[in-house]
């Protein structure tokens, strides 16, 4: 029996396709040939390897003083910035005499 691969679009004998069993325990042949599947896995593993290297702890990047404010920011005039001052209301209560 000849089957066509979905990725490379080549007609190959059924032996070239990987087998899998479905929920009813019937043998099903995958739509991707073994060569294409191996190639996909190879790419995934290469990607994982790169991610593993990138995810390693970098002391320079994770240092506490890694991100510093620009010195020009101190002299910057912030137009439209709203600053709110708290209003303190001095009031007498009964508890003040005990405290």
Q: Which residues bind to Zn ion, rule: CB under 5 A?
A: 5, 7-8, 33, 36
CB of residue 48 vs Zn ion: minimum separation in angstroms?
Answer: 22
Structure tokens at 5: 């691969």
Give 4 or 58: the residue with its C-beta nearer to Zn ion: 4
Give 8 or 50: the residue with its C-beta nearer to Zn ion: 8
Span between the terminal Cα atoms of the chain, in Å: 94
Nearest to 34 by CA among 58, 7, 61, 56: 7
Q: How many CA atoms lie within 13 A of 8 on its CB side?
A: 16
Give 19 or 49: the residue with its C-beta nearer to Zn ion: 19
Structure tokens at 23: 């929920």
Give 8 or 20: the residue with its C-beta nearer to Zn ion: 8
CB of residue 45 vs Zn ion: minimum separation in angstroms?
Answer: 18
CB of residue 36 vs Zn ion: minimum separation in angstroms?
Answer: 3
CB of residue 38 vs Zn ion: minimum separation in angstroms?
Answer: 10
For tokens 């209301």, the residue is: 89
38 close to 16: Cβ distance less than 8 angstroms:
no
């Amino acid at each position: 029996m000849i089957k066509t691969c979905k990725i490379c679009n080549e007609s190959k004998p059924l032996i070239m396709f990987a087998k899998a069993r479905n929920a009813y325990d019937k043998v099903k042949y995958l739509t991707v040939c073994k060569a294409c599947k191996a190639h996909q896995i190879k790419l995934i593993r290469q990607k994982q390897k790169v991610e593993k290297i990138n995810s390693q702890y970098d002391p320079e990047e994770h240092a506490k003083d890694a991100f510093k404010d620009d010195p020009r920011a101190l002299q910057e005039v912030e137009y439209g910035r709203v600053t709110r001052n708290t209003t303190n209301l001095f009031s007498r209560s009964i508890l003040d005499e005990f405290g």
